[in-house]
Amino acid sequence: MHRYAEERQVELSRDLVGRLARLPDGWQVEVIRRIADGVMPLHALTDAGLSINVLHHVFRVPLAWNAKPLRPLPEQRP
């Protein structure tokens, strides 16, 4: 492996570990479980992040460690 490729792999690994560390505890366990089942680490982390974003922005569930409280949705008129 070339030196540049090794440095890039180390950089990517650090990024993935940082992303994993920022997930809520239960989500970390689920990502590790999925990786152990054969899912690529990048895919497992990306899926977790996308799921948190959907839950946070669509359903107003503040799951992320840095999630700010959201304003309530405007009431819909019948």
**Of 54, 2, 5, 45, the residue nearest 24 (C-alpha):** 45
**In a domain? residue 31:** yes
Give the per-residue pLDDT at 37. 97
Residue 67 in any domain: the answer is: no
Q: Is residue 45 domain-resident? A: yes
- Domain presence at residue 26: yes
Give the per-residue pLDDT at 45. Answer: 94
- Amino acid 64: pLDDT: 58
Residue 73 resides in a domain: no
Q: According to the model, what pLDDT value does residue 77 have?
A: 61
Q: Could you tell me the mean pLDDT of each successive run of 10 residues in the chain, 78 residues long?
A: 83 91 89 96 93 84 60 62
Establish if 37 belongs to a structural domain: yes
Structure confidence at residue 32 (pLDDT): 96
Percent of the chain with pLDDT over 70: 79
| Number of domain units in the chain | 1
Q: Quick check: is 49 in a domain? A: yes
On whether the CB atoms of residues 62 and 70 are closer than 8 A, the answer is yes
Hey, CA dihedral for 42, 44, 45, 48, is it positive or negative? Answer: positive
Residue 65 lies in a domain: no
